[in-house]
Amino acid sequence: MFETVLIANRGEIAVRIIETCRRMQIKSVAVYSQADSHSLHVRMADEALLIGPADPAQSYLDVARVLEAARISGAQAIHPGYGFLAESAAAAARFVQEGLVWVGPSALAIATMSDKIAARNAVAAVGVPVLPGSDKAVSDVDAAAVQAGRLGYPVTLKAAVGGGGLGVAVVADEAALRAAFGPVRDRAERVFGAHGMLVERHLPRVRHIEVQILGLTDGRILALGERDCSVQRRHQKLSEETPAPGLSDETREALGRAARQAAEVVDFTGAGTVEFLLDPATGEFVFIEMNARLQVEHPITELVTGIDLVEQQLRIAAGEPPSFDADNPLPVHGHAVEARIYAEDAERFRPGPGKITAWREPKGEGIRVDAGYGRRDQVVPYYDPLLAKVAAWGPDRPAALDRLRHALGRFRIEGPANNVRFFAELLDDPAYASGEYDTGIVARLRPDL
């Protein structure tokens, strides 16, 4: 196992990775920007190195600076977390070229899967059902309109490379497509540095279900259960739960099989997630994309399986077998649900950075909090708004939801805006409580947005 691991990230995910390193007696090295000098991940790590100014392009996204920090600290491996460099095939290749271990899949697997069109074509070729869409990137509005006309409106316009719900728009007709195309493409270019767009059929009333997979060093791909991520605003997840409510065993197995097939196409190693849209009426599903990295919502899988996914990532990267018996399916115990606490208001989800003047995390049986901040920390406008994740485990879904409700009622945050109150409404919503909800649930709770 590695002696020293550098974590090329910040916030809650850097803190979470440091915790596993500590438990495994691996020295953790944090990197940070000037805006993060006093951040929690810097305070938690065994060693911390300043790598640049607040602008992520000159710090967390700068491969040369991260490499230099790895050399100075003597790190043997780089854990990218999620976001920033995690899905950069170029970064993964470069680190490996420089003799470091990349805690993640091969650069080739990342390159295929981070391009949504390449990914879709690759998995369709082995028989995984895919969402109908353009089979190559479109770069101008007329080509997009041709594709949309073929697919039928409404369609989703999406950056071919990217994630986190950025650079996505659903359009109802050609006029809306023509109005949205330029801004969405510009946004994608600015955030992801790529301008190819993808046009997909938009399916209303579907559920967003993803399967956690783990590719072992012996080539086996394990499916570690699914997560329902249908609670989204701005195409970005707000809350997730596992198991997905109301799935038949047959559908669950079919999802796991499709996810393994998708991962096998690229000889996937390490932790990843295969995302699907599922029609709750029929149980039919289509592949939308694969995330070749650790997912934000991985804690709920950890809560129901009892395994540490970051530990498995490190073990696989070090060429070791997983910590559990891979020959027997992992038993799933109970139910887990997560709320993403963002620095944005609970009504319109508008960001509101600021200094944290009060911070008290809830504690209790079955409650897990992954936080990137604490009292007196400054939430700055440069980075994503995730402050913390509150996850609750219970022996069944009502118990887990009840624990989450109580935990959120005890979470005290003052200073920046926060969306804690939104989840009280969500948990009280009859459709959510019954488990019969879909990706339209937030729009129904906030019809004016």
Partner 1 sequence: MAEEIRAELAAIVWKVVVSEGDRVEDGDILVILESMKMDIPVLAEATGRVIELAVHEGDVIGEGDLIATVE
Q: Does 382 bind partner 1 (CB under 8 A)?
A: yes
Peptide bond into 56 cis (omega under 30): no
Among 24, 93, 176, 380, binds partner 1 (CB under 8 A): 380
The DSSP annotation for 252-314 comes to HHHHHHHHHHHHHHTT--EEEEEEEEE-TTT--EEEEEEE-S--TTHHHHHHHH---HHHHHH
Rounded distance between C-alpha atoms, residue 171 and residue 197, angstroms:
14
- The minimum distance between CB 83 and partner 1, in angstroms, equals 9
Whether 85 and 163 have beta carbons less than 8 Å apart is answered as no
Q: Which of 130, 133, 199 is nearest to 170 (CA)?
A: 199
- The minimum distance between CB 385 and partner 1, in angstroms, equals 4
Q: Which of 407, 233, 265 is nearest to 336 (CA)?
A: 407
Q: Count the site residues for partner 1 by CB under 8 A.
A: 21
Binding span for partner 1 by CB under 8 A among 39-47, 109-117, 375-383, 405-413:
375-383
- The minimum distance between CB 384 and partner 1, in angstroms, equals 5
Among 22, 178, 187, 446, binds partner 1 (CB under 8 A): 187
Q: How many CB atoms neighbour CB 55 within 10 A?
A: 14
Q: Does 181 bind partner 1 (CB under 8 A)?
A: no
- The minimum distance between CB 442 and partner 1, in angstroms, equals 16
- The minimum distance between CB 151 and partner 1, in angstroms, equals 27
Site track for partner 1 across 306-345, x = CB under 8 A: ------------------------------------xxx-
Q: Does 166 bind partner 1 (CB under 8 A)?
A: yes
- The minimum distance between CB 341 and partner 1, in angstroms, equals 13
Q: How many CB atoms neighbour CB 127 within 10 A?
A: 9
Nearest to partner 1 of 366, 415 (CB atom):
415
Residue 200's Cβ-count burial label (10 Å; 0-12, 13-18, 19+) is: buried
* Interface positions, 232-291, toward partner 1 (CB under 8 A): 234
Among 93, 96, 143, 191, binds partner 1 (CB under 8 A): 191
Nearest to partner 1 of 379, 408 (CB atom):
379
Rounded distance between C-alpha atoms, residue 180 and residue 279, angstroms:
27
Among 129, 245, 351, 374, binds partner 1 (CB under 8 A): 351
Binding span for partner 1 by CB under 8 A among 59-67, 121-129, 295-303, 349-357:
349-357
Q: Does 82 bind partner 1 (CB under 8 A)?
A: no
Q: Does 354 bind partner 1 (CB under 8 A)?
A: yes
- The minimum distance between CB 116 and partner 1, in angstroms, equals 19
Q: Where are the alpha helices (DSSP H) in 293-374?
A: 298-305, 309-317
Nearest to partner 1 of 182, 381 (CB atom):
381
Both tokens of residue 359? 């911070």
Nearest to partner 1 of 150, 234 (CB atom):
234
Residue 182's Cβ-count burial label (10 Å; 0-12, 13-18, 19+) is: exposed
Helices (H) and strands (E) in the chain, counts: 15, 20
Binding span for partner 1 by CB under 8 A among 116-124, 197-205, 246-254, 347-355:
347-355
Rounded distance between C-alpha atoms, residue 208 and residue 277, angstroms:
5
Both tokens of residue 186? 């510009």
- The minimum distance between CB 408 and partner 1, in angstroms, equals 21
Rounded distance between C-alpha atoms, residue 342 and residue 338, angstroms:
13
Nearest to partner 1 of 381, 398 (CB atom):
381
- The minimum distance between CB 350 and partner 1, in angstroms, equals 7
**Residues 6 or more apart whose Cβ sits within 8 Å of residue 350:** 344, 417
What are the CB-based long-range contacts (under 8 Å, 24+) for 131-134?
131/200, 131/201, 131/203, 131/277, 131/286, 131/287, 131/288, 132/200, 132/201, 133/198, 133/199, 133/200, 133/201, 134/198, 134/199, 134/200
Rounded distance between C-alpha atoms, residue 211 and residue 223, angstroms:
7
Site track for partner 1 across 21-60, x = CB under 8 A: ---------------------------------x------
Q: Which residues bind partner 1 (CB under 8 A)?
A: 54, 164, 166, 187, 190-191, 234, 342-344, 350-354, 380-385
